[in-house]
Amino acid sequence: MNNHFKNKSYIIILFLIASGLFANVFWTPPSEITSNNIDNKRSLKTSQHEISFIIINNDNWTGFAGEPWFHLGDGTENDPHRIENLTVNPNFMRSAIYIFNSDEHFIIQNCTILNAVFNFEWFSGIELGYAENGIIRNNTIYNSYRGIWCSYSQNLNITNNKVFNCTENGIRIDYSLDLEISDNEIYETDVYGLYIRFDCSNIHIIGNTIYNNTGGGYGAAIMFTGGSTYVNYDNYVYNNTLRGNVYGILISSYTNRTEVMYNEIFNSILTGMEIRNNCYDNYVFLNNLSNTHNALDDSSNNYWDNGTIGNFWHDYISSQGGYDLDDNGIGDIPYKIYNDWAQTTNTVNDTFPICDDGDDIPPTISIVSPGNDTFYSSSPSITVSIYDNGEIDSQWYKMLNTSETDTFSGTDFQIDPTIWTNQPEGVIIIRVFVNDTAGNSNSSDLQIIKDSIVPSIDIINPLDGTLFSEAPEIEVSIFDIHINETWYTVIGSGQNYPFSTSSFEMNSTLWSAQDEDAVIIRIYANDTAGNLEYADLTIVKDSLNPILTINSPLGGMQFGITPPTINITITELHLDKFWFRINDSSTLYFVTVSNGENVFAMESSIWDIIPEGHVKINFFANDTLGKIGTISITIIKEIPDNPQEPPSIPGYGIFLLLISSLCSLSIANRINGRKK
């Protein structure tokens, strides 16, 4: 090995050693980096999504920019600030989320808020003061003094939150307007589930479920309180479910023009719906109340119906002797509302109480279809209209012709096919019955006509197989008591042609379109019950004249004593006769031939009497419809004067003599040669 090669080898080895040391010192396996980063991110995420409180004052929303639970918008309706997916736990020291003096749009959603209370008072899970344009939704708030508290605020939407186990109120609203409080679940608060207090207007309380608010002997599901200078007015309480509270809805003081509608108020310990002093022009109707005391009204000018319908009172019949003789759903006597639980004074009435005293009105039933006196060949389907104030118990029908019965359900049914088969032809009366669970029954009759017999069709003329060159006239006999339509078609044409008399001519255009061959005409008839029958007529279309073609002899050929042999092709499926005549004479000569090629020799008795010279022969053929085809040929008849055997060939004897002489000379020459 030379030195030059050795030097290069040493350099390569040193380079590899250096590279290995570099990688060992500076390179970290990718798996270790990934693991450390993941752990760091998990720790960061946990710490950033649970905090102790949030304060937003004077629209200072920028303080939380960059937090993963906060979206800093531009404060508009299309891009509001958002606090979301966060747990806020002030640990019994303060309100959890406090927003004061803000008019920018914001949303608080999907948060868990707890322990916003100090010595069991004052603080709230979410506290809003002088706040506008906010949405509070899908949050869970518990173990707080108040769940949500809004004061001096407007244009807020509080929806789909769960609020429970609060020391005072689930939701409290003071001095506010234009709020919607909807679809919240509020339960187990010690005082009021929802408290509307002082100078509140246009508050929409819709679709909330409020229950088990019984603490401290108060426990109203919804409470309104105003003051002489801070009157609540124009508020709405719709479609709420209130159960198991001390009071259902308590309108306590200075609350006017409240609409209370479509609410379910059950199992209130004291009163379901109560209106106290200094509350006027409140409307309460279309509510369902079932409570220890359903209603009290210690004020005046309040309305417990809207002039046509009031409320459903569970004790209207049992305690007040109510009834509804005409079963129109409205009680026939008013429901009395008193001013105290002892029922001292009847202050106002629900004049139109909703009532169900049992069903004594039979169902109404009418037959929608079919109409009377309609025709049917098979069991018909029947549609009925049934109405009853109560519940339908059973439905059935009876065939008055045979007394057979069957049951059905719903409003559409088909007469049982077996029962239908047993009915006679003609008028049938079907009586349809219905009764309700109270035993009231009613019926309605349907008269229809059974016609299951198909029409009869006889084709009188023409007979099957008859030939026609032009559109035929057809005569038929059709019978049915309730005949409806008659028409015909040609099989394969796809076209129908009506007719109304016993004789009709086939459509000429249709006839022209048919091929020269058998034509099948199908004649239809149906009746008003839909029974259909048809009959087929097969005729033959033959509108072409016979075609004659002379194969031999050719025109101008000469014949002598022997008469000519004729080879002629006749094209005619329905050939009748074939004949010929000579030189336009009146004598006709008939020959038995057939469709196709025919060969025959003219009889000698005919040929012999024909004078010599040009002979014109006219051939004729007709078909069974009388159509004639013709063709002619002209040949020459010429007979020699002395007819004999053909003469011998001239010079034939000389030729033989010459050959004989040559042979003799040849023999003589050979003899002489031998002698020499």
Residue 273 falls inside a structural domain: yes
What number is the average pLDDT over the span 252-263? 97
The whole-number pLDDT of residue 39 equals 32
Structure tokens at 273: 């719906």
For residue 65, what are its two tokens? Answer: 């920019």
**Is residue 105 in a domain?**
yes
Structure tokens at 473: 């006239």
In a domain, 409, yes or no: yes
pLDDT at 276 over 70: yes
Q: Say yes or no to pLDDT of 83 above 70.
A: yes
Q: What is the pLDDT of residues 95-131, one digit of tens each?
A: 999 999 999 999 999 999 999 998 766 799 999 999 9
pLDDT at residue 666, as a whole number: 52
As to burial, measured by CB atoms within 10 angstroms (0-12 exposed, 13-18 middle, 19+ buried), residue 644 is exposed
Of 568, 637, 648, 566, residue with least CA distance to 602: 566
**pLDDT higher than 50, residue 587:** yes
> What digits encode the pLDDT tens for the residues 153-195?
999 999 999 999 999 999 999 999 999 999 999 999 999 999 9
Q: What share of the chain is helix, strand, coil (3-state, %, to 5)?
A: 15, 45, 45
Q: Using one digit for the tens of pLDDT, what is the confidence trace for 462-505? A: 999 999 989 999 999 999 989 999 999 999 999 999 999 999 99
Q: Over the stretch 506-556, which tens digit does the pLDDT of each residue have?
A: 999 999 999 988 999 999 999 999 999 999 999 999 989 999 999 999 999
Residue 31 clears pLDDT 90, i.e. is over it: no
A 10 A CB-CB count for 345 gives: 11
Task: Inform me whether the pLDDT recorded for 36 exceeds 90.
Answer: no
Full residue range of the structural domain in which residue 226 is found: 190-358
Shared-domain flag, residues 194 and 260:
yes
For residue range 399-425, list pLDDT tens digits in order: 998 989 999 999 999 999 999 999 999
Reported as a pLDDT band with limits 50, 70 and 90, residue 360 is: confident
Query: Average of pLDDT values for 447-465?
Result: 94
* Tokens representing residue 14 in the block: 């040193």
The candidate with the shortest Cα–Cα distance to 253, out of 287, 283, 230, 220, is 230
Strands 518-527 and 483-490: antiparallel
Phi and psi, residue 58, nearest 5°: 55, 45
Structural contact between residues 419 and 352, judged by C-beta atoms closer than 8 angstroms: no
Same-domain status, 472 and 418: no
DSSP strand pairing (112-114 vs 87-88):
parallel
Q: Does some domain include residue 611?
A: yes
Q: Are 211 and 244 in contact (CB under 8 A)?
A: yes
At 412, is the secondary structure helix, strand, or coil? strand
Same domain, 354 and 238: yes
The CA distance from 20 to 345, in Å, is: 103
- Distance (Å, whole) CA 244 – CA 213: 7
Q: Where are the beta strands (DSSP E) in 207-275?
A: 209-211, 220-225, 232-233, 236-238, 241-243, 247-253, 255-256, 259-261, 264-266, 271-275
Percent of the chain residues topping a pLDDT of 90: 78
pLDDT value of position 38: 26
Q: Is the peptide bond before 370 cis (omega within 30 degrees of 0)?
A: yes
Least confident of 43-57, 259-273, 464-478: 43-57
What are the distances in angstroms from CA 329 to CA 273, 309, 390? 22, 9, 11
Q: Token pair of 480, please?
A: 């049915």
- 558, 635 Cβ separation under 8 angstroms: yes
List residues bridging with 206 in a β-sheet: 182, 238
pLDDT, residue 302, reads 97
Domain boundary among 335, 358, 381: 358
Q: Look at residue 299 and tell me if it is in a domain.
A: yes
**Nearest-angstrom CA–CA distance, 198 and 622:** 119
CB atoms within 10 A of CB 90: 23
Same domain, 474 and 431: no
| Residue 251 sits in the same domain as residue 297 | yes
CA distance 446 to 455: 26
- pLDDT value at position 582? 95
611 shares its domain with 487: no
655 within some domain: no
Q: Is 7 exposed, middle or buried (0-12, 13-18, 19+ CB in 10 A)?
A: exposed
Q: Can you say whether residue 602 is alpha, beta or left, with left for phi > 0 and alpha for psi between -120 and 50 degrees?
A: beta
Query: Which residue from 622, 535, 531, 538 is spatially nearest to 572, judged by alpha carbons?
Result: 622
Last residue of a domain, one of 481, 512, 541: 541
- Are residues 610 and 632 part of one domain? yes
Handedness of CA 570, 575, 580, 584 (dihedral sign): negative
Dihedral sign of CA atoms 339, 341, 345, 349 in order: positive
Domain-embedded: residue 501: yes
pLDDT for the residue numbered 438: 85
Q: Token digits for 505?
A: 């001519």
End-to-end, the C-alpha distance of the chain in Å comes to: 123
The 3-state secondary structure of 602-646 reads CCHHHHHCCCCEEEEEEEEEEECCCCEEEEEEEEEECCCCCCCCC
| In a shared domain, residues 205 and 282 | yes
- Determine the average pLDDT of the residues in 316-343: 92
DSSP bridge pairs for 156: 134, 179
- 143 lies in the same domain as 204: no
Asked if 313 and 227 sit in the same domain, the reply is yes
Q: Of the candidates 520, 541, 562, which is a domain's last residue?
A: 541
| Residue 26 lies inside a defined structural domain of this protein | no
Mean pLDDT over the full length of the chain: 87
Contact assessment for residue 429 and residue 453, using Cβ atoms and an 8 Å cutoff: no
For the cut 80, the answer to whether the pLDDT of residue 600 exceeds it is yes
pLDDT of residue 22 exceeding 70, the answer is no
Domain identity same for 208 and 352 = yes
Query: From CA 262, how far away is CA 286, in angstroms rounded?
Result: 5
In contact, 565 and 600? CB cutoff 8 Å = yes
Select the more confidently predicted residue: 38 or 393.
393
Give the CA radius of gyration of the chain.
59
When pLDDT is averaged across residues 661-670 and rounded to a whole number, the result is 50
Angle at 529 between CA 410 and CA 408, to 5 degrees: 15
The reported pTM is 0.53
Stretch 596-603: mean pLDDT, rounded? 94
Upper half-sphere CA count for residue 388 (Cβ side, 13 Å): 24
The reply to whether 440 and 474 lie within a common domain is no
pLDDT (mean) for 581-590:
94
Q: Domain tally for the chain? A: 5
Polymer length of the chain: 676
Confidence of residue 670 (pLDDT cuts 50, 70, 90): low
Percent of the chain past pLDDT 70, that is, above it, reads: 87
Task: Please report, for the domain that includes residue 374, its CATH number.
Answer: 2.60.40.10
Query: Is the predicted pLDDT of residue 245 greater than 80, yes or no?
Result: yes
